[in-house]
Structure 1
């Protein structure tokens, strides 16, 4: 068939375009009732922060991350196996890579499931939900546009790099194993400097807050980039709070460990609500895309205080998640 298109409708939104694209894609599977909050939590995007240590540049949220590994691991926690083609490498696809990606896109759409893709109309994640082989056009939607993209433009957007990811299968997931898998990712991100593919000084997790604070102290903050990071990270932490609050109410099939998970999740949720509150004030100080005046000494001082408070609250939240992780490890073993 030369022309296929999935029905498209979405009413729930996050500023993390990676989470948004995953959620939209999941909406066409047999697990379409999974909430955006659970997508953000179980894939760890609600708990991520990645900051350029000198400038807080706009590339931060997705810069240099090993996308394929992170997305596939996160989707496993939700009961999906996925395949990805390409990685962030600032290199346009070869004709062979483009052909492989297009065949994968068409194959997935033929089953009724869109694929996730990077840099369709802008350097954000979106989905490809239809194609017309006769016209060599893809139906795409991202944060900027819902429109048509010529085949040859895939992987040749503003950045010029190819990445697509699609669902290949679904399976029933154990709730305890899924939560343990999510916490594996959250804690790894919080404490470990994750693999990078470039020499830029990005810092993730708790070190990301320190990098952000240092950029304000140095007076070297990129105006628009800082506002964008504030928008994305503050929105993510609001989802972290909702995810943890929801965990505190889950029954986990009445397993003996349920009560302890509930207690720890509720405690962590309160800390993440505080994180989200402080970051919302940062977002107000530096509205996107106008950006405010981050290098003004008085404003920078206010931002530093808010980030220090957010970091302290996140550290307390992470401590609760570490205990929860140990509880789950003991239960599973």
Structure 2
């Protein structure tokens, strides 16, 4: 088996719940010739700004978005990539797309870069790290940290049987100022509800999440609340650091405060008794404050994006 030595080490994850696509993408780039661009790409692809929240806080809400947009979103950050997808209602394309995806993966592994793929180990994003044509096996690294193998035939046919494979193939000459401009455009488009999703998205995700710490509190959803706080809270760091690096002081200051609010909310959820109304109220207030900061950020990015 041809296999890359890859781990999640070096991918900053403040909560342990960093959105699995963003974490996988950053790890793939860190294991490429363009490793210095890994953290920037989490922001420039727009994922540092994205939020999706379902009414019942089902974790799968974070994986309901337009998978076909992965390629243009990643390429916004000045990278080139390969992509193969096959979704619901496309069963007639199943074998063709699977074969295309396996070839895409093999080319990426041969170039020394792991491939980002859906439903790897668990129904989240993970990495394909190797292949064995003789045994028709893929090596993988799950977002859980589990390393294992799976048959070629299982690709796109596991717990949530859709196919999505993205590979990072190169860099373009897109100027940093153009990447920044288009990143703001992507962020505004998402935060104002312009990107497809069946659930509350962008700024609307805030009230959808906050209500679970207020009138709609259900102790049975305690872990779900932690998952959403951790998944999106860990992304805010990447928005802050990218904007700071690009000299966008006012925006960076806003996202530094947004990041701090989410981090504190997550820490309270992890360390205190959520059954106490005053504990939930503190989390709700922190999220409400972050919401207002992101509203201000949208106004700024709309003017300068």
State the TM bucket, normalised to the shorter chain. 0.7 to 0.9
Shift of 1:281: 2.2
Shift of 1:286: 2.3
Residue by residue over 1:200-234, the C-alpha shift from the partner in whole angstroms, topping out at 9 and shown as x without a partner, is 5x111111112222344442553222111100111
Tell me, yes or no, if the aligned pair for 1:87 and 1:161 is still in contact at 8 Å: yes
Matched, 1:219 2:221: no
2:45 aligned partner: 43
Tell me, yes or no, if the aligned pair for 2:185 and 2:301 is still in contact at 8 Å: no
Residue by residue over 1:284-315, the C-alpha shift from the partner in whole angstroms, topping out at 9 and shown as x without a partner, is 2323xx99637x64443333222211111222
Please point out which of 12, 18, 23 is paired with 2:21.
18
Matched, 1:293 2:290: no
Shift of 1:78: 2.6
Tell me, yes or no, if the aligned pair for 1:68 and 1:87 is still in contact at 8 Å: no
Matches within 5 A, 1:99-138: 99-138=99-138
Given the two structures, how large is their TM-score scaled by the length of structure 1?
A: 0.80
Distance 1:150 1:31 in 2: 30
Distance 2:272 2:59 in 1: 11
Matches within 5 A, 1:130-279: 130-144=130-144, 145-196=146-197, 200=198, 202-219=199-216, 222-248=221-247, 265-279=248-262
Shift of 1:183: 1.1
Q: Which has the larger radius of gyration?
A: 1
Q: Which runs of 5+ in 1 are unaligned?
A: 249-264, 326-333
Please point out which of 27, 31, 49 is paired with 2:30.
27
Distance 2:291 2:36 in 1: 33
Shift of the 73–271 alpha-carbon distance from structure 1 to 2, 3 Å rule, reads same
Shift of the 277–29 alpha-carbon distance from structure 1 to 2, 3 Å rule, reads closer
User: Stretches of 4+ moved more than 6 A in 1?
Assistant: 90-93
Residue by residue over 1:88-138, the C-alpha shift from the partner in whole angstroms, topping out at 9 and shown as x without a partner, is 649888333322322222233233332110111012211112101112211
Tell me, yes or no, if the aligned pair for 2:118 and 2:163 is still in contact at 8 Å: yes
Shift of the 17–213 alpha-carbon distance from structure 1 to 2, 3 Å rule, reads same
Residue by residue over 1:47-100, the C-alpha shift from the partner in whole angstroms, topping out at 9 and shown as x without a partner, is 111111x222212322x201221x212221232222322256498883333223
Distance 1:19 1:152 in 2: 26
Given the two structures, how large is their TM-score scaled by the length of structure 2?
A: 0.87
Residue by residue over 1:242-283, the C-alpha shift from the partner in whole angstroms, topping out at 9 and shown as x without a partner, is 1211111xxxxxxxxxxxxxxxx1111111111112211221
Matched, 1:322 2:302: yes
Q: Which runs of 5+ in 2 are unaligned?
A: none
Distance 1:158 1:240 in 2: 32
Distance 1:133 1:94 in 2: 20
Greater shift after overlay, 38-47 or 220-229? 220-229
1:280 aligned partner: 263
